[in-house]
């Protein structure tokens, strides 16, 4: 069961433009580097839709990774500088690993990478080309194929044994500075997302190919955001779940332009950690 419809309809909301996947022939693909001559950077073109995005702060205690596919958590840290890669890996990684292991009652948590983002007006989101920009298309970071493949990519010697249990890819996303008013994160309620809405799309790197889900528009999608997040808060996002027992397996999300953002709001700065979460049963 999802959240009670009458309770949701009474929540405050903003109406904002979200970029879904436009109809495209063949499997969409995007180059993570300059494409070969004559090739477009991406065939996954945006199709904008105006949708209501509900203020989830008032019902945050109701959200569940297994139902909606996301959750708001309180998670203070001792990190001083999220732009210091060594501090992030040596201080933040162990803290998040311990937090997720306890919070999700996991047997093991493995952090495989992180991304720091700082919005720069007019800048494109280019890997290795300055700060990463907020991702402004509706997507899921992994697919049924690539989520499982992450285990073999990062833990090859143990992968065959690990995939016998439950495997999840969970992102922990937080603002670096707050309260965050610029380019907040919108999360789709996984109970309103149909499997046919998720379109496997290739992400091509110089030395490998990954796969993400682009998302087709569906008027049944229900969206939430958490306004004015502070740096001691974080959102858990489910990007893959090997369990096929009816719980939400993939959580679409995107940054969006909040029409109520004050003109003098500081540009969004955020960090996301991508993790493999293992349960033996």
Peptide bond between residue 179 and the one before it cis (omega within 30 degrees of 0) = yes
Using one digit for the tens of pLDDT, what is the confidence trace for 184-215?
Answer: 999 999 999 999 999 999 999 888 889 999 99
CA angle, 219 then 73 then 178, to 5°: 90
pLDDT score, position 249: 98
What are the two backbone dihedrals, phi and then psi, of residue 192, each rounded to the nearest 5 degrees? -105, 5
pLDDT at 113 over 90: yes
For residue 1, pLDDT over 70 is answered with: no
Question: In this structure, how many other beta carbons lie within 10 angstroms of the beta carbon of residue 64?
Answer: 16
The pairing of beta strand 223-225 with beta strand 185-188:
antiparallel
Say what the pTM is: 0.94
User: Per-residue confidence at 238, pLDDT binned at 50, 70, 90?
Assistant: very high
**In the chain, what's the furthest Cα-to-Cα distance?**
53
CA distance 106 to 112: 16
Asked if 275 and 103 touch (Cβ cutoff 8 Å), the reply is no
pLDDT at site 208: 86
Place of tokens 């997720």: 100
Average pLDDT over residues 39-67: 96
Closest Cα to residue 185, out of 96, 68, 270, 88? 270
Of 25-39, 41-55, 213-227, the one with minimum mean pLDDT is 25-39
Answer CATH for 3-279 from 2.60.120, 3.30.160, 1.10.3470, 3.40.50: 2.60.120
When the pLDDT of each residue in the chain is averaged and rounded to a whole number, the result is 94
Q: Residue 223 pLDDT > 50, yes or no?
A: yes
Output the CA torsion 241→243→248→249 (10° steps): 30
| CA contacts within 13 A on the Cβ side of 229 | 29
Task: Tell me what percent of the residues of the chain surpass a pLDDT of 70.
Answer: 96
Identify the three-state secondary structure at position 96. Answer: helix
CB 192 within 8 A of CB 222: yes
Domain ranges of the chain: 3-279
Q: Given a cut of 70, is residue 116 above it in pLDDT?
A: yes
């Amino acid at each position: 069961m999802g959240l009670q419809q009458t309770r949701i309809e009474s929540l405050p909301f903003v109406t904002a433009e979200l970029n879904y996947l436009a109809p495209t022939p063949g499997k969409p693909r995007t180059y993570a580097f300059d494409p070969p001559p004559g090739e477009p950077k991406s065939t996954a073109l945006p199709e904008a839709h105006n949708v209501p995005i509900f203020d989830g702060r008032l019902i945050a205690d109701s959200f569940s990774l297994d139902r909606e596919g996301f959750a708001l958590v309180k998670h203070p840290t001792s990190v001083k500088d999220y732009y210091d890669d060594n501090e992030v890996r040596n201080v933040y990684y162990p803290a998040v690993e311990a937090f997720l292991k306890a919070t999700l009652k996991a047997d093991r948590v493995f952090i495989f990478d992180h991304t720091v983002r700082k919005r720069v007006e007019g800048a494109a989101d280019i890997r290795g080309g300055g700060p990463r920009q907020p991702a402004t298309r509706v997507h899921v970071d992994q697919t049924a194929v690539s989520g499982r493949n992450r285990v073999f990519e990062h833990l090859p010697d143990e992968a065959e044994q690990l995939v016998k249990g439950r495997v999840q890819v969970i992102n922990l996303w937080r603002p670096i500075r707050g309260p965050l008013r610029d380019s907040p994160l919108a999360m789709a309620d996984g109970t309103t997302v149909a499997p046919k809405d998720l379109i496997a799309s290739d992400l091509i790197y110089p030395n490998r190919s990954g796969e993400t889900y682009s998302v087709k528009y569906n008027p049944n999608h229900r969206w939430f955001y958490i306004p004015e997040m502070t740096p001691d808060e974080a959102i858990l996002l489910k990007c893959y779940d090997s369990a096929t027992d009816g719980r939400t397996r993939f959580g679409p999300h995107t940054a969006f332009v909040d029409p109520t953002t004050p003109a003098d709001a500081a540009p969004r700065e955020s960090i996301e950690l991508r993790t493999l979460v293992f349960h033996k049963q």
